[in-house]
Amino acid sequence: MNEARRPRIHVVDALRALALLGILLVHCHDYYNAAPPSLHPGEWMASLNGVADWLYRELFVSKAYLLFAFLFGLSTFLQLDHAERKGVDFRGRFMWRLALLVMFGLVHTLFYNGDVLMIFGVFGVALVALYRVPSFLLACLAAALCLNPGFVFDALAGCGDFDSACLTVMSRPLGEGLSPAPSQAAASWWDLARWNVTDGLAARMCYMVYSGRLSFMLGMFLCGMLAGRSAIFDGSPERKKLLVRLGCAGSAVYAALAVVAAVWQQPGFAVERLLVSWQHVAFVAGFVGWVSLLLASRHVCGKLGWLSCMGRMSLTCYVMQSVVMTWVLFGWGLGLGQKMGTGWCLLAALMLYGVQLVFCRMWMGVARFGPLEWLWRSATLGRWQPLRKDA
């Protein structure tokens, strides 16, 4: 049965833009996985570095990634559901779309060895496979993945730290046969790109598994699909109440876990990383609930244009951030990474984000899609799509 086209959900686009901000700040704080410089900042610079470190630790690290995964699951459901409402089974075509995302990720990996596009493209297949699974079973699977049974087993067994190389995957060898990353300060672009798509790719997958990120990512994929099924962002009073409950539940769980972590001194590495990971999930739940309500309020809703435009160009902006910042930080570019503390990296990230906001606003004023989004859509459908709005 054909139905009218579902209006675009600008709140979701704005959330995607905020996730991009968090990811950019995390990557810049980590010098895009390059070794941090040995600097001795003055008092003012030390204060700015402290602010950057606090923002990184408390607001963005791991949380922005989980939010991005949640929105990916949500967007996948919305696209499949929109096609189904038109009487089209889009799952086969969507698998091709995921394969294209892997190709985009491979190109992106030539610049940054922490790419998520390939990860999302490969494991997004699970969303297609589970699209018709009943919501109750999907919720149980999402809960199990977000609890991370591997972490729970380690905690119950009293296991200590796993191979520490898995946590410093980009700077140390990860097992026999895998070479360490070349020095980002001195290596050429070609040397870095070659490592990124060979040993670096294998090391990243190992990190995803042993750090627990893969389990949490898949769990957030499914949470996003469940949010799409519940039409949580449709703006109705009932759905706004659901967002309030989500915000309250996420905030309460986050606070409770913070108290447990503070009271339970030295719980052991496995238990500690389990508590921290659950805090990240709870933080994202609370963030989605409260920020979505704020963005949907009548005082803010009319001012979403800038964030919404950036959210619609998330693929373009994500790749652009990596290309620009690796050129700024790495030795094959300006090589400023060895001269900048985390505070300067924070300012550089905010400056780039501001430029992207302006660029996206101007671009979406005349175009239907972002540059990479247009290429992705055209390749998915097998024909060139009109790019200009007046076409």
Tens digits of residue pLDDT in 290-300: 999 988 887 77
Model pLDDT, residue 105? 96
Instruction: Say yes or no to pLDDT of 1 above 50.
Output: no
Model pLDDT, residue 297? 80
Quickly tell me which residue has 């919404």 as its tokens. Answer: 308
How far, in Å, are 126, 129, 131, 141 from residue 222 at the CA level? 9, 11, 9, 8
Least confident piece of the model among 9-13, 158-162, 252-256, 261-265: 158-162
Instruction: Say yes or no to pLDDT of 103 above 80.
Output: yes
Model pLDDT, residue 163? 42
User: Residues 6 or more apart from 215 whose CB is under 8 A from it?
Assistant: 145, 146, 148, 149, 150, 151
Average pLDDT on 127-149 reads 92
Average pLDDT, the chain: 86
Model pLDDT, residue 152? 63
Give the pLDDT band of residue 167 (cuts 50, 70, 90): very low
Please tell me the pTM assigned to this model: 0.90
Convert the pLDDT of each residue in 107-122 to its tens digit.
999 999 999 999 999 9
Instruction: Say yes or no to pLDDT of 56 above 50.
Output: yes
> If we measure between CA atoms, which residue out of 68, 98, 80 comes closest to residue 217?
68
Instruction: Say yes or no to pLDDT of 51 above 70.
Output: yes
Per-residue b or e along 298-335, where b marks 16 or more CB atoms closer than 10 Å to that residue's CB? eeeeeebebbbbbbbbbbbbbbbbbebbbebbbbbbee
Give the pLDDT band of residue 196 (cuts 50, 70, 90): very high
Give the pLDDT band of residue 268 (cuts 50, 70, 90): low
**Residue 179 region by backbone torsions, left for phi larger than 0, else alpha for psi between -120 and 50, else beta:** beta
The tokens describing 66, both together, are 């989980």
Q: Percentage of the chain with pLDDT > 70? A: 86
Convert the pLDDT of each residue in 224-247 to its tens digit.
999 999 999 888 888 889 999 999
Give the pLDDT band of residue 275 (cuts 50, 70, 90): confident
Backbone angles phi, psi at 336, to 5 degrees: -85, -5
Query: Residue 100 and residue 104: Cα distance in Å, rounded?
Result: 6
